[in-house]
Amino acid sequence: MEKEMIWSGRIVFVKTCSASPEEHEARLLRRKGKVLGYVRIRGGRCSILDAKGRTLDIPNAEGDCMFTEEERPKILAQSAKILEDKVLSTL
């Protein structure tokens, strides 16, 4: 199975689960693919589990266990911004 990848700035999102719940691994491009965290949607709640074990909520996500085609790029861009502000600043 070929991995689906979506880029947002310095972060690449690799879809690790296309079933329910949908999940994307967030990797930093310039540090040999260092994993920053995971973006997932479960039970209508969209969140990031970062590499330090913190859960960061992503507001305004819809759906139950999968992103809609229209929502996925917006949520991943929003996730990249949260990761840059809250995770990259601590590296």
Into how many domains does the chain fold? 1
Give the model's pLDDT for residue 43: 66
Q: What is the pTM of this model?
A: 0.79
pLDDT tens for each residue of 8-34: 778 888 888 877 778 888 988 776 678
CA-based nearest residue to 57, from 29, 37, 71: 37
Question: What range defines the domain where residue 48 resides?
Answer: 5-90
For the chain, first and last CA: distance in Å? 32
The sign one gets for the Cα dihedral 26, 73, 78, 40 is negative
Give the model's pLDDT for residue 1: 45
SS (H, E, C) the chain: CCCCEEEECCEEEEEEECCCCCEEEEEECCCCCCEEEEEEEECCEEEEEECCCCEEECCCCCCCCCCCCCHHHHHHHHHHHHHHHHCHHHC
Residues lower than pLDDT 50 in the chain: 1
